[in-house]
Amino acid sequence: MLTRTNDTEKVNGQAGHPPKDDAEAAVPLPRGPDQAPPNGGSKAWLQVLGSWMIVFNTWGTIITFGGYQAYYERVSLFDESSANISCIGSIQSLMVFIIGAVIGPIYDRGYLKLLLVVGTFGLVFGHTTLSLPTEYWQVVLAQGFVVGIGCGCIFVPALAVVQPYFSSRLGLALGVVATGSSLGSIIYLIVFINLIDKVGFAWTTQTIGFIALSTLLIPILVSEMRAKPPAIRKILDLSAFKDGPFIGCFLGYAGSHVSFIYIPYFGQANGWMTGNLALYLLPILNSVLVVGRVLPNWLADNIGPVNVVIPGSLIISVALLCNSAVVNVGGIIYTALFFGFLSGILVATPPLLFMVLTKDKAKLGARMGMAYALVGLSVLPGGPGAGAVLQHDGDNLGWP
């Protein structure tokens, strides 16, 4: 273990001679990034708590956009097509991933607390200003860009800060962190559904902003990097663009992200569900995501993340194709539960995969940022592309 003995010897230029003050020599310096992680303990699980709160507010917020999509479709806040409305959610997701390409290297340089403060401000400010718009472009700016950028500032650090504290239990720890998005989307959607008709859209979005502010104070207080990298790294690490598994995540997110946006509107547009019942499809979906995000990561700890992601992606494809056979409310609830459980594989396991593929852990933030930038490029066309397919012809939509 490094101690102040080494530090003092370097300063005085007297290598090999102990310092005069023995008490000072006994004080340890922070452990290096290559030393064995504690793999548990109170401090390690506090990092999991802080990261859980971040994911609760980032992806918990983003996944709720399906509720906003259904709401925007049935009210006269602005008059836009399904494709244009879904652009808001796609931009929001894109910002989270693309901003990560820059945020990862900044995290690697030790600016965790600064990122948490800036991201919290952006997320809360975006929700607060979302109460003001009366036109489409204003909603795009507040909900798409401001909230998205705020989420992007804290998402990659939430995953990267956990890794140095765990070894054999890393998959389990990240799986627990990932459940934050499920519970976050459930809570935020229930708040949205229950307040929207009572206090209006403006106060509903402000309330969501206040909840985000209070819960994000926790990671600001408890999250702490275990060790800063020994040297300053370059801002961009393009090696992630050459890794097959990273590119595979690009393809996986492109299709699965569409369901989170459109599944409430799917039930509403086909007449199987009306009003708030359609909005409750997302909480139903996310209720099984809690288990679906822990179980695959626990399995990945034992057989490897690659062996979980590949077959899991194939099964998710089958689950999405099952939507074309839905003809009633029971069918859509069943497919929502099935997809919700399985989609945890594509949400919770890739961070573990990125960490396993990163040999130099000092580059972890940069590599994860690059990987999620790839993912961001895939989710941008997904929502608008699906909306463009929905050609209105009376009551018939192009769902199949």
CA distance 107 to 115: 8
**More reliable by pLDDT, 363 or 45:** 45
* C-alpha span between 398 and 70 (Å, rounded): 17
The answer to whether the beta carbons of residues 277 and 333 sit under 8 Å apart is no
Q: Confidence band (pLDDT; 50, 70, 90) for 187? A: very high
pLDDT, tens only, 17-44: 444 443 333 333 344 445 777 888 889 9
pLDDT band at 382 (very low <50, low <70, confident <90, very high): low
End-to-end CA distance of the chain: 61
51-55-56 Cα angle (round to 5): 110
Give me the mean pLDDT over the 120-132 stretch.
Answer: 95
Provide the CATH number for the domain formed by 42-257+361-385 in this structure: 1.20.1250.20
**Residue 147: which pLDDT band, with cuts at 50, 70 and 90?**
very high
If 0-12 CB within 10 Å is exposed, 13-18 middle and 19+ buried, where does residue 152 land?
Answer: buried
The segment with the largest mean pLDDT, out of 30-44, 191-205, 219-233, 310-324, is: 191-205
Is the pTM here over 0.75, yes or no?
no
Give CA separation, 30 vs 8, 41, 361, in Å.
15, 17, 16
Mind listing the pLDDT tens digit for each residue in 275-290? 677 777 778 777 787 7
At residue 143, the pLDDT reads 95
Confidence grade of residue 251 (pLDDT, cut at 50, 70, 90): low
How many angstroms separate the CA atoms of 296 and 299, rounded? 5
Opening angle at CA 362, ends 359 and 363, nearest 5: 70
Q: Which tens digits make up the pLDDT trace of 349-359?
A: 877 777 777 77
